[in-house]
Amino acid sequence: MIKIQNIFPQLKEEELKNYKAHLAIGGKGRDNRLPLYEFIRGKFKDYQEAQNSPNFKRDYIFSLIYYRKNEWIFAGIYEKISVERIGDKYKYETKLLNRYEDLIGRLVLHYVKPHPQNTYLTLEKVFYELELVEMLHDKVSLEEFPGFENVDIKYSELKYIIESEDDGWKSALSNMQGIYLISNID
């Protein structure tokens, strides 16, 4: 596999200490793909800026989004502008940098998290373990409608599909008369 340092040659070892790696994955009791749905909807920056703890104590955030088991989508490099504590939450202001913007949403990387709860790591601990799995032709998007016989999705996924107004899904679901079984166990 291709190592990440070959894809991001400008990120030198001494620079890595200025970065926090954010492995965005749905939290306890939530769909693991929630950050991916937010990314597809164009809302990932807002999602990332709302935190329960002061997780970004470095100048830059190297953002990865859970895609599949041990696979992460590159979501960009963000500069931390400011942080404000609001009650027991933290609101960050960040700026998406245009570095590597052609790779955002297309680069699928392999990484095995050392512990399920570790989603905010120092980049120097993660960087050299990241390997390229694939480069998507286009930015990641909703999967195409797979046909009625193959639809078995979580309620949270259905919710994002409806909110995104994806033409393929919307057309298929609105033109079929029948009984839908929707159970919400979220």
pLDDT tens figures, 80-110: 999 999 999 999 999 999 989 999 999 999 9
pLDDT tens-digit series, residues 25-70? 987 667 788 899 899 889 999 999 999 999 999 999 999 999 999 9
Token pair, residue 101, equals 């913007």
> Residue 52 contacts by C-beta under 8 Å, 6 or more apart in sequence?
88, 89, 90
Domain-wise residue ranges, the chain: 4-135, 142-186
Could you tell me the pTM of the whole model?
A: 0.80
